[in-house]
Structures are given as structure tokens and as C-alpha cells.
Amino acid sequence: MKGISHFATGVAVGTFFPEAVHAALDGSFILALGGIGGLLPDTIDFKFARFLEQPDILIDPHPEQFEAQKIADEIAAGIDRVRETRKRLILKCNTIRLGPDWWQQYSLKFDTQAREVIVKLGPIVNTSQLPLPASLRNVPEGRANIQAPLLPAYDEYIEVDIFSGPSFALEWRNERVEIDFIPWHRQYSHSIFMAVLFGLICGLLFGVTAGLIGGLALLAHVLEDQLGYLGSNLLWPLTGVRTNGAHLIHAGDPIPNFFTVGTSVYFIIFNLDRFSAQPTLDPLFFWGVLWLPFPIALAYFFYRKFETDIRKKIPLLSQQERDLVAELNEVVDA
Amino acid sequence: MHRMEYLYLVPYAIAGTLIASTLALAPALHVYNIAGIFILIALGAQNWIGGDALAMLLLGMIIGYAMLNTVSAIFLGAPDDSTIFIVLPGQKYLLMSRGYEAAVLTGIGALGGVAILMLLAPFAVTIFVTLRTILLPHLHWILAVITCYMLLAEWPKGGDHGATGLARLWDAWKGLGIGLLTFVLSGILGIVLMYKSPVPLEMSFQNLLPAFVGLFAVPWVLENILSGTEVPKQHISKTFDAPPGVVARGIFSGALGGLFAAFFPVVTGGIGGYLAGHATAQRDDRVFIISQGASKFLYYVGAFCLFFLPAARITKGGMAGMLATIYTPQGTGLFYTVVAMIAVCGVLSFGLLLGYSRLAVWLVERVNYRYISLATLGILFALVYFMTGWGGVAIMLIATPIGGLPILWGSRRLNCLGVILVPITLNLAGLGPTVAAGLGILR
């Protein structure tokens, strides 16, 4: 889900504690802890973990000497090396910055059916990823064969253009090489352990209620992410891999995100009123009438989604990586 | 009460729209600057212009301004606190020969804002009075939560280069650190302005003008001068690449943000639009521009409209704040007259937007953009000097490097709004004087 959905959920979690609402009335900022806890897992990943990951294969193309074939060869060789050594390797693709607002786009695709890596040069784009007209150069694409069998992966082109480029973990699993997109994301930061740890830190610093708010807000983030196609490493440090999610939504789907933010805001308003000296809201009217557009929109979303899913039958791995692409896009948009 | 009783107010609203629409073309000349002067004049002239007429004149002005302030943001690159988000996509459109289209898209968003206000008017009393009762005692932490989100949701824009993890982390955190520094410095500037402003007392209603000009407008204009931006020939399109779905999404998102900003103190149309854009997961440039148009219209006009709510009279925004010192609106009839005038003046100002945007296109095509930027800089300096004296100029000169930090380091310009978010959040929590004393501003 998008950051604002997690953040709003975290704040809403805090308002379920009457003592926190009363403290807030007296000038406390305790409810902000819920928002912080709600956004903390992505903060850890996108502001720290991604930069601490050490790449084994670094693709760092020169803007004026872009050699698509050489890049494709290097990536394919890396994948084959994983089969030979059985050793996990990290592949990192750097972006090509041309100026304060201009970037040279290139893209790569792992064609798992044809066992090929395809690399091609794209247009020059600005930081909004809008292409500069007539900037597409006629550079031949690079194609390199992979000897190692591959597990099905994201089947569309992955664009490398602005800010920080993506990374991939290449790992030997079930007699095939698995290409794991942005492996630093949704690991320890998105675990029950982290929720408990953050709750304990908040509790020690600000008291029991703060601890419960911080811990539960982080846990809410972790649970919300389980609704997607890719869950998280929920039981870290006992487990080492990311689990499958419930396959209900993608991280960037507008309606589920809007539903979550809207419902969280409704909970915040309702709880603030409920715990005030003179409650004014009629729960039946508030939830039965005013909230009604949100579940109706969500029901429509699921109707459309399952109709499309039945028609398209997109592979699970591809769906999971679409989740991650959506999260990367959010970081870019922000 | 005669049903034609309010008809005499119509010319005042239209006059206000015409005045503000023209003044909105001057870069950084905020409608509140002019309205403040109008109110000062009206104080001495209440015998010949009644309270209702003055209110309607100001309503027309705020409608005209809310619709047309994008022209200077897009074509002259001089944004204010509510157009800061429009200037970046707007100038991108300008450099792609589509400046006129960007301006019109904001206008379409604003027209959507008009429609939203019409639809909400019959329910406004119930909705906003209930919300105010529930949320008013909690404003301090809600503002803190918004600030937290703004700061936490700024993501690194570097970090690819560096041999070690720590080197990459440093590369990534340079921009984030500058973003935080911008927020802190703007916040301190805001606290100074709140407790020890060098702006003369008689012009204290212009207290924030030099800070906003320094934080938002001057750095952008300087960037345009230094980078030697060249504007290509512009295309005046007769049709727009904005299908109904895109328009509806933009207006919906902008309406959420604008209404939120209209109701909550300190939250500007830009912040509201930004939050709503995130909440509705929008990624399309056209949706974004339309939503910002709707958001800033609802922020300015919606907030002022709340002032006329029968039996509620919610005072949000500079215009309502100034008017509240000399006037109290009365009656349901006046409220619905205000709603009707929003429709009339909204459509009128949209027509003016089309005309003035063509004028701006004519200007940027014929005059070197560097000269336009230099002239804009001169206007900004003169405006600050005449409105707030040398004290204001000093504030502007202090604010300019703070506003320049995000431009130089590629961090988020929104952080400059620390200038209002920090002092007001602290004051609402009762911590303002303590922090000001801690900084040595108060003894």
C-alpha cells in the first residue's frame, strides 16, 4: 500500500486508546507516534536498507557510451555464475544522470521463456519521467542468452531512469535461478519482531500507551502489506524469505488506498468524538450512511479486478513484482 | 425580506473579480496584500460602502485571484505558497510549448471546484460545524501529524554512487538532510516573525509576505535567470488532452485536498492537494495539474465561503481573518448570495484566464525570458519594499537562501512551509513562547 495509507492507519490505531485521545486534548503529540510507526517499515527500507546493500554486479553505464550488448552479456554471465557457484549475487543497475532534471533512460527485461536478457536504450526523460521529444537514439538493443534455467519473473521491461536504480538478488532455488526484485525491501523491517521492538522502544521512552500505539501501528503496516501479492518476511529472524500475500490488491491501486485513507480518517473522527466529553455523532448514520461510498467503491474495485484476473491469468511472480514496482514508483513520485 | 434584496451586491463581486484577475498577473502580489489595503481604506469609508458590499468585493477578488494566480506561476515562474506545486509541472509544460494548456487545465480544475462548492452548499453548515466541534481541540497534533508525514514521506533522490554502504547512504541523505534543514530554518524564521517581526506594526497584516516571496518566488526567478531558460514558441491549442475520466479524477482529488485546506488552519491548498494526491494514488501529470487548480480554488474561495455560513461563521484564511475585524455576516440569504456569486465570478474569471494566458504567451514569446525574470525580480523587490519597508526586505533576503536550498540540492520545496507550520503548531500546543524563549527570541 502507499505510504499515506499506512500513515493514516497508524494514526487511526492510536485514536482507539481513550487515554491517548485525552492526552492529545491536553497538548500531547502522542498520536503522531501512530503515524510514525505506520510509515517506519518503508522508512527503514527506502532510506537506509537499500543503500547498505553491497552489489556484486554493478551496471553503471556511461551516458555517451551506452553498450546495450555489453550490459546484457554482463547480466547473463552473472546469472550463469549463480548456477555454477550456487552463491547468491546482488545485481545493481545505476541510473544515468545527465543534468539537474534530465536522465538517460534504459530498460531491461528477463525473458524467462526464451532464457534471454534484453537491454535497450530509452529516451532522455525529466524527473517526472516525461520523455524529451526526439531524444530516442538509434542504439541497437542487447540480447544475451542465459544457460541457467530461470524461475518465472517479472515479464515486462523494467525501466531504469531517475534517482536510484533497482537491484535484484540472483539466487539458486529449486534447481533454477530466481531473480528477486529489490531484495532489500519487506524483509526484517516488515516483521512482527520489528513491531514488538518499536513498541518496546516507544514504551520505554514515553510509557505503556505510547508503546502499544507505536507497536500496533507498525504491525498494522505489516498486516496491510499482506493483502498484496507479495507479503513480507513476517517471522524474521526465524525465516529468511518473503512470503506470498493474500493476492487481493496491488500496492498502487487507487481505490483500495483511498478506501484505507478514508476509513482511517472516519475512524479518527469517530474516535475523537466518542472519547470527547459530549459525543455528537450518531454511529448508525455515520457508518451506515456517510461511510457507505467507501465499501461500495471497494466492492466495485474487487468486481472489476476479479473479472480482469480471470481473463488475464497473470503469473504470481509477475504480480508480486508489479507490487514492488508500484512501491518504487511511489518513492519516485514523492 | 425581499428576494431581490441582495441583487445590488452583484456588481461589487464582479468588480472584485476584474480587479483581482488583473492584479493576479503581477508575480507574488497576493490577493491578501491588496485586500488588506482595501480593508484599511474601507475602515475609513464604511459610510459609502457597506459591510456586505465590501465582503462581496473581497469575495470577487479572492475568486479572481484563485483562478488566475497560476498565470504568473506558470509563465513567470514566480509561485506562492499555494501554487508551489503547479510551477514545476507548469514550467515543464511551458518548455514543451504547452504553457497555455497547463494554465487552462488549472482553470478546468478550478471550475470543478466551483461545482463542488455548489453541491456542498446545502450541507455545509451540518458538515463543517460538526467537524469543527470534534476537531478544534485537536488541531495541534493534527498539524504535527501532517508535518510528520511531509517530512517522513520525502524519499532519497541519490545514493547510487559510492564504494561502500556508508558512502551511498551519505549520498542519499544529503538531499534529505537539506530538506530537514530547510524545514528547521523556515520554522525558526516563522517563530522570529511571530514574536519579533521587523515589519512595521501598521503593516503587520503583511507580516508573512516577505518570507513567502523570499522562500518561494525569488529562488525560482533567480534559477530562471541563472540557468538562462529559453521558452520555445507556444502552442495555443483548441482542444485538450484531458478525457472526462482524467478531469473527474483531478477534480475529485483536488476537492478533497482543497476542502481539507479550507477547513484546517495553516494547511495551504498546496499541502492539501499534495496529501489528496497521495491518498487517491494519482500519477498522471494532467490529473495533478487539474487537482492543484481545484485544490487552490477551494482552499481560497471555500475558506472564505465558510465565513458566511449561517450561525457558524468559521474564520479560516487571511481574507476572512482581516474582514472579521470589521464585519459580521448575517443571514442565510447572504450565504446563498455568496454561493451564487462564486458560480458567476468563477465562470467570469475562467474566461479571463483564457484571455490573460494568451497575453502571457504573447509576452514570453516576444521578450527574452531572462529579461522577464529580471523584471519579475524587480517587481518582487519593489512589492516587498513598498508593503513592508526595509525590515521586510531584510526578511526576504534572509528567506531567499533558505528557499534556495531545496532548488540547489533537489529536495522538496514544500518544506519551506515550516515558516507557518512550526510556529502555529507550537502555539496551538501552548509551547510557542517556551520555544521562542529557548531560541533567545523572547526574554
| Residue owning grid cell 536510484 | A164
Alpha helices per DSSP H over B367-440: 369-409, 418-428, 432-438
For the question of an ipTM over 0.90, the answer is no
Q: Which of B98, B101, B130, B138 to mutate to test the interface with A (most CBs of A within 10 A)?
A: B138
Span B70-103, pLDDT tens digits = 888 888 876 666 666 677 778 778 888 889 999 9
pLDDT grade for B104, boundaries at 50, 70 and 90: very high
CA distance A1 to A9: 11
Per residue in B220-249, pLDDT (tens digit) is: 889 878 877 778 888 898 888 888 988 999
What tens digit of pLDDT does each residue of B334-380 get?
999 999 999 999 999 999 999 999 999 999 888 888 888 899 899 88
Collect all residues of chain B within an 8 Å Cβ-Cβ radius of residue A261.
279
- The 3-state DSSP class for residue A293 equals helix
Domain boundaries, chain B: 7-438
Say yes or no for a CB contact (<8 Å) between B141 and A24: yes
In percent, how much of chain B has pLDDT > 70? 92
Quick check: B120 pLDDT over 70?
Answer: yes
Residues 6 or more apart in contact with residue B2 via CB below 8 angstroms: none
In chain B, the percentage of residues whose pLDDT exceeds 90 is: 44
CB A94 within 8 A of CB B160: yes
SS3 B360: helix
What is the residue extent of each domain of chain A? 3-51+188-333, 54-181
- Asked if pLDDT for residue A222 goes beyond 90, the answer is yes
* Closest by Cα among B121, B194, B73, B162 to B343: B121
pLDDT at A333: 44
pLDDT band at A321 (very low <50, low <70, confident <90, very high): low
pTM: 0.87
* B2 touches A at CB < 8 Å: no
- A202 has a pLDDT exceeding 90: yes
For chain B, the average pLDDT equals 87
Q: Which of A44, A28, A48 is nearest to A36 (CA)?
A: A44
Give dist(CA B154, CA B179) in Å, integer: 8
The shortest C-alpha distance from A160 to chain B (Å) reads 12
pLDDT: which is higher, A189 or A102:
A189
Q: Which of A11, A257, A281 sits opposite B281 (nearest CB)?
A: A257
Which of A263-272, B228-237, B263-272 ranks highest by mean pLDDT?
A: A263-272
Higher pLDDT, A79 or B278: A79
Under an 8 A CB cutoff, do A52 and B410 touch?
no
Contact B79, B59 (CB under 8 A): no
Residue of B86, B47, B52 whose CA lies nearest to B69 = B86
- Whether the per-residue pLDDT at A123 is higher than 90: the answer is yes
Our CA-based measurement puts residue B30 at a distance from the nearest CA of chain A, in whole angstroms, of 28
Nearest to A54 among B141, B165, B431 (CB): B165
Show the CA angle centred on residue A282, arms to residues A277 and A288, nearest 5°: 145
